[in-house]
Chain A
């Protein structure tokens, strides 16, 4: 990769320095905002009738619980899968 491609330059602000996205308040705000939205979506289930094909879809917060559990399961399985299949980066080049 040439410098013309990368266009990198030095002397700019250092990592994480002061950008609003990296401020503690922003990160905290996003986290609690997400919790509030999830709570609202969970509560919304009480105020409308969900059209379902399977009975279990009608269970309150069914999709939310399913999404949370599946996502957590997928990510945590990464620890186990790593032990099984992870090798050095140059494994095939040796």
Chain B
């Protein structure tokens, strides 16, 4: 195929035809697009193609190496099963938006320069917001606006960094950048916003759970993992990422415990998982980089699977609040099984995909002597088990039976979940094909007695803790609530501050105006007194007195003349 055609462009351009296709042919076509893009991806030779000169800078649309291929591959796999998952909705806007978004993210991992990256960076933001707005509620509209402002904002910061970088170095090539000045810091922060670094994170938990059933599944795959790719490309071995990543893994687990919306619990979990990848990139050794990339690959699949299962629950039951759910294993047994496969994978149980990826990062972090940060990562592994491994399946499908007797998820949803679940188990049992795709040649054996037994001990003792906490009533009961997070700053504090400033400003303005008005009124009164209808200047002088005055004036003039 054409060397200079980015696989992502096949999805973007192909999406434009979707609204014109009727019935089933539309879905056949939509499934053919990621398949065709995959054929294009694997036909590309390593190297750079599709270069154009603009204003003395070289734009490169296709840069093929192991890092771009592995991310491109998983993005196309996700795009494929997402089409299947969303078939029942028959929502044209959402279908076009999902394809453009998937294509933009895929294109972004293949570009070789920062300007092209910026273009696709912003396209992911603009296309993905429609997946939130498609929910059609006022709440979703507002969440979408907040999401869009933050995402586009990250693009603007990226552009500022790129312009400065180009001016300083004369290059816009997107290779290893490192933190070496304002320009690279700006680029780093832009990547950090999309990766949901601590304090820059809450757009994720705010917006993702407000999207449509399919929208949340699609969103979970691309934005943050594109950011992981850019960090892996631009900032490998940047030590601050170890600390940022470790904090990212730890703090969401506390919020996930008390969160009632199960899709929001998964959004916290997503944040926590990306933390492992960020930490791996920060460690930066070949083993750690492979760990981060492998983790991104398997994470996209099991996180999609978990969001899909919760989407199926929302679709069938009409709520996703833990306080209103329970007992769905009786009506949705297949969805339950798929959800548990996702839960086992994210918790890194041996024989599931999370295990063969996360252990690379943990081993690399330990080998480099980051003892405290390694402990934080292991602590967070117990946290993952809590919120994604246990809380999600337990409160939706087991726990207290609320008496819902609903249909099993629609067939298309089950097929999509089945594909994802199959990949979770297949990669867990047979990780070699994934390991072969990773950027570095590293010999690693995940299934050693030490690894397997240590991990099983960690997870099963944690499960025992859960059982004891539930039996003793010490596990906090699920209840409807809103939990404050950093979005409180821009949703409550800043509007309150602006309101206060407006009130104070208004009072000052009123005071100043009142004073001015009083002076003006006084002036007006004086003018009025003299020139008004009763003012001295407006009097109607009687003709006789006027003649008298004129005679008097003339007399004075005559007298003066003779004198």
- A residues whose Cβ falls under 8 Å from a Cβ of B: 1, 5-10, 12-16, 19, 21-22, 30-31, 34-35, 37-38, 41-42, 44-45, 48, 50-54, 57, 61, 63-68, 70-72, 74-79, 81-82, 84-93
Contacts and interface: CB of A to CB of B under 8 A. Distances in A.
B316 A71 contact: no
Which 3 pairs between the two chains have the least Cβ-Cβ distance? A7-B407, A1-B318, A64-B461
A51 B452 CA distance: 11
A8 B406 contact: yes
B366 A54 contact: yes
B416 to A, nearest CB: 17
Given A6-B318, A54-B366, A70-B462, A12 B405 contact: yes
Contacts of B402: 15
A9 B407 CA distance: 9
Interface stretch (B70-78, B149-157, B481-489): B481-489
A8 B405 contact: yes
B367 interface: yes
Contact of A65 (B139, B461, B485): B461
Contacts of A14: 403
Interface in B389-440: 398, 400-407
A23 B339 CA distance: 22
B464 A68 contact: yes
Nearest to A5: B315
Contacts of A37: 460
A53 B317 CA distance: 48
Contacts of A51: 448, 450
B481 A75 contact: no
Contacts of A89: 480-482
A72 B382 CA distance: 10
A43 to B, nearest CB: 11
Contacts of A82: 258, 476, 481, 483
Interface stretch (B53-61, B249-257, B554-562): B249-257
Which of A1, A44, A45 counts the most chain B CB atoms within 10 A?
A1
8 contacts: A5-B318, A6-B318, A15-B402, A41-B460, A48-B453, A68-B462, A76-B474, A92-B492
A87 B329 contact: no
A38 B464 contact: yes
A31 B257 contact: no
B397 to A, nearest CB: 9
A41 B476 contact: no
A7 B464 contact: no
A89 B467 CA distance: 28
Contact of B386 (A13, A71, A91): A71
B453 A50 contact: yes
A35 B461 CA distance: 8
Interface in B298-321: 315-318
Contact of B366 (A7, A42, A53): A53
Interface string B467-484: 101010011100011111
A16 B401 contact: yes
A6 B325 CA distance: 13
B317 A6 contact: yes
Given A8-B405, A15-B401, A15-B403, A67 B457 contact: yes
Given A8-B405, A66-B378, A44 B453 contact: yes
Interface of B: 139, 253-255, 257-258, 315-318, 327, 329-330, 363, 366-367, 371, 374, 378-379, 382-383, 385-386, 398, 400-407, 448-450, 453-467, 469, 471, 474-476, 480-485, 491-492
A74 B382 contact: yes
A32 to B, nearest CB: 10
Nearest to A9: B405
B485 A85 contact: yes
Nearest to A7: B407
B475 A75 contact: yes
Contacts of A92: 482, 491-492
B461 A67 contact: yes
B476 A79 contact: yes
Nearest to A37: B460
Given A6-B315, A34-B464, A51-B450, 15 more contacts: A6-B318, A9-B405, A50-B450, A50-B454, A53-B363, A66-B458, A67-B460, A71-B386, A75-B469, A76-B469, A87-B482, A87-B483, A88-B482, A89-B480, A89-B482
B316 to A, nearest CB: 6
Given A75-B469, A78-B254, A93-B139, A70 B482 contact: no
A35 B383 contact: no
B491 A64 contact: no
Given A16-B327, A34-B467, A71-B385, A81 B255 contact: yes
A53 B378 CA distance: 14
A87 to B, nearest CB: 5
Contacts of B483: 81-82, 85-87
A77 B283 CA distance: 30
A84 B481 CA distance: 12
Given A6-B316, A53-B367, A61 B404 contact: no
Contacts of A91: 482
A81 B385 CA distance: 19
A85 B383 CA distance: 19
Contacts of A67: 382, 385, 457-462, 465
Given A75-B475, A87-B484, A91-B482, A63 B454 contact: yes
A43 B17 CA distance: 62
A38 B468 CA distance: 13
Nearest to A85: B484
A59 to B, nearest CB: 12
Contacts of B367: 53
Nearest to B387: A74
